[in-house]
Amino acid sequence: MTDAGSPAPLSFYDEIGGHDTFVRLVDAFYRGVAGDDVLKPMYPEDDLRPAAERLTLFLEQYWGGPGTYSERRGHPRLRMRHAAFHVNPDARDRWLQHMRAAVDELDLPPLHEATLWDYLQRAAFAMVNTFEPTGIGPTRPAEATTLLAHPETTKES
């Protein structure tokens, strides 16, 4: 039972402004990706909007917002979903550079900004799956597309 006098604690999602904030963050991030010679070619679709929507839904769910990501995509399993992409330290640093610019645009209070940025950095470092330079080793866009659309990894048909 909750005490009728004490309101439910706000989630981090609510504290930083809910859906609008996450949309602004991811839109700014993908503006950076769109102009990135290494990251842009990694995306299986030419149109970055569906990828932007997936990242928005994931981040919203992670921070206590609606659970739409898992309703549509199933369990995140992010390292597995990135396995087919060439995520080396250069790709990670580029990803973080665009994300840093996007976080700056939000102009959050320092503690909220530090919390968000700390998570994004740890997540990006965890996503690295190769130390081979870009252009060396297999790039597998076809396999990546299959993996992303595989019925066992997603509830979308």
Give the C-alpha separation, 107 to 67, whole Å. Answer: 26
Choice between 106 and 127, CB closer to ligand HEM: 127
Give the C-alpha separation, 144 to 154, whole Å. Answer: 13
- 42 near ligand HEM, judged by CB under 6 A: yes
Q: Token pair for residue 92?
A: 């990670």
- 54 near ligand HEM, judged by CB under 6 A: yes
Nearest to 26 by CA among 38, 36, 34: 34
Give the C-alpha separation, 48 to 27, whole Å. Answer: 10
User: Which residue of 16, 26, 91, 108 would you call a contact of ligand HEM, by CB under 6 A?
Assistant: 91
User: Which residue of 34, 78, 80, 101 would you call a contact of ligand HEM, by CB under 6 A?
Assistant: 78
Chain contacts with ligand HEM (rule: CB under 6 A): 39, 42-45, 51, 54-55, 58, 73, 78, 81-82, 85, 87, 91-92, 95, 123-124, 127, 148
